[in-house]
Amino acid sequence: MSIEELINLDITDKNVLIIGCPASGKTWLSKKMAKPTHTLIHTDNYMSYGYAQGMYCALDAANFSDKPTLVEGIFGYRMIRKGCEYGSYYPDIVIEMEISNSRMMQTYMKERDEKKIKYLKQFNETHKKILNDYFGMCPTDKKPEWIKYSNQY
């Protein structure tokens, strides 16, 4: 799938979740895919509530939206697992953004806080575990369309 196809994906009446490691392009893609028919939720905006409570606030925002949602950000992994655990959040489409480790490091060195680089490997390993937990508990009839996109920006 090209980036243009991904941006123009038909998400009519669909709840979409964009996940990926830091600097993988989640926010950029969500802005490109945003539609007035959807509530756009940037989970990073809930970080001020703390790591635990922020996820629950973002999950509530998705669950209580009066429109389909387009959710992106760092809490996405935990939201999909916790939503499945509670039986409350099942996105229709998950877009998993992927980038190389070297690209992630390069972005952090150039545009972000390079002091956080030492935490990225553990952070990404935790996300893999969360996804494995999710895949093990998600009912077959609730599994989303899963799109992996290798971002080569």
pLDDT (tens digit per residue) in 32-65: 999 999 999 999 999 999 988 999 999 999 999 9
Q: Is 26 inside a domain boundary?
A: yes
For the chain, what's the residue count?
153
- CA geometry: angle at 135 spanning 132 and 139, to 5°? 160
* Number of domains, the chain: 1
Q: Is 67 inside a domain boundary?
A: yes
Q: Residue 98 pairs with which residues in a beta bridge?
A: 150
Q: Is 126 inside a domain boundary?
A: yes
Nearest to 138 by CA among 86, 97, 93: 86
Structural domain boundaries enclosing 104: 13-150
Nearest to 38 by CA among 46, 30, 26: 30
Identify the pLDDT of residue 81: 97
The CATH number of residue 131's host domain is 3.40.50.300
Nearest to 151 by CA among 54, 19, 9: 19
